[in-house]
């Protein structure tokens, strides 16, 4: 009998822990959005690069000078460091292929498409990493196992992120 009680307690504890862990898992709070998404799996190989929030990865030379997007996301208002601090996984995409606000599953992690880049065209993903060293070490990788979840209303996902990560004052 004692054994039964002990194992019941253990089972309950494990279930409780699993439940608590669900809440901590990155991207979990975005998963309800997946029920309103269209899952698209392209039969292609994606090119994957990485970047950091710093000047090193966010400036572009133009004919008229330098465009500096340091710590800015394409969706506006949000800062890259604020998103990192909030534990949100950010990816830059080609918005003509993937609407901003879409959710992308790569390597068992859910990323949110919140940024763009002049070099991000077609089946290319640019993953935000906290440190330039990490982005540099990531280099260029290729993957054909990418799932894209396009929300019915991508703006709703962005709104949700803005509520969670805070919006920078203009
Ligand atoms: Zn950098």
Across the chain, how many H-helices and E-strands are there?
A: 6, 10
**Residue 80, helix vs strand vs coil:** helix
Q: How many whole angstroms from 103 Cα to the centroid of ligand 1?
A: 23
User: pLDDT by residue (tens digit) across 72-106?
Assistant: 999 988 999 999 999 999 999 999 999 999 999 99
Q: How many whole angstroms from 22 Cα to the centroid of ligand 1?
A: 32
User: pLDDT by residue (tens digit) across 28-72?
Assistant: 555 556 678 899 999 999 999 999 999 999 998 888 888 899 999
Residue 119 resides in a domain? yes
Residue 13 resides in a domain? no
pLDDT band of residue 22 (cuts 50, 70, 90) is very low
Q: What pLDDT, on the 0 to 100 scale, is given for residue 61?
A: 84
Q: How many whole angstroms from 131 Cα to the centroid of ligand 1?
A: 7
Q: Provide the sign of the torsion angle of the four alpha carbons 170, 157, 58, 133, taken in this order.
A: positive
Residue 127 resides in a domain? yes
Residue 123 carries which DSSP code? S
Residue 101 resides in a domain? yes
Residue 140 resides in a domain? yes
- Whether residue 124 is predicted with pLDDT greater than 50 in this model: the reply is yes
Q: How many whole angstroms from 67 Cα to the centroid of ligand 1?
A: 15
User: pLDDT by residue (tens digit) across 101-110?
Assistant: 999 999 999 9
Q: Which domain holds residue 159?
A: 26-165
Q: What is the CATH number of the domain that holds 44?
A: 2.40.40
Q: Are strands 46-51 and 141-143 parallel, antiparallel or unpaired?
A: antiparallel
């Amino acid at each position: 009998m004692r054994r039964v009680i002990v194992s019941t307690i253990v089972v309950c504890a494990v279930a409780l822990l699993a439940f608590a862990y669900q809440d901590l898992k990155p991207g979990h709070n975005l998963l309800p959005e997946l029920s309103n998404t269209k899952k698209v799996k392209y039969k292609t190989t994606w090119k994957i690069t990485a970047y950091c929030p710093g000047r090193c990865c966010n400036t572009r030379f133009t004919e008229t000078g330098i465009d500096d997007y340091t710590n800015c996301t394409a969706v506006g208002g949000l800062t890259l460091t604020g998103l990192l601090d909030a534990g949100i996984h950010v990816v830059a995409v080609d918005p003509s292929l993937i609407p901003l606000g879409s959710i992308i599953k790569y390597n068992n992690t859910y990323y949110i498409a919140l940024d763009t880049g002049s070099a991000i065209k077609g089946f290319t993903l640019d993953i935000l990493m906290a440190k330039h060293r990490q982005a540099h070490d990531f280099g260029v990788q290729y993957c054909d196992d990418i799932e894209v979840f396009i929300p019915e209303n991508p703006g709703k996902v962005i709104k949700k992120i803005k509520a969670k990560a805070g919006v920078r004052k203009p």
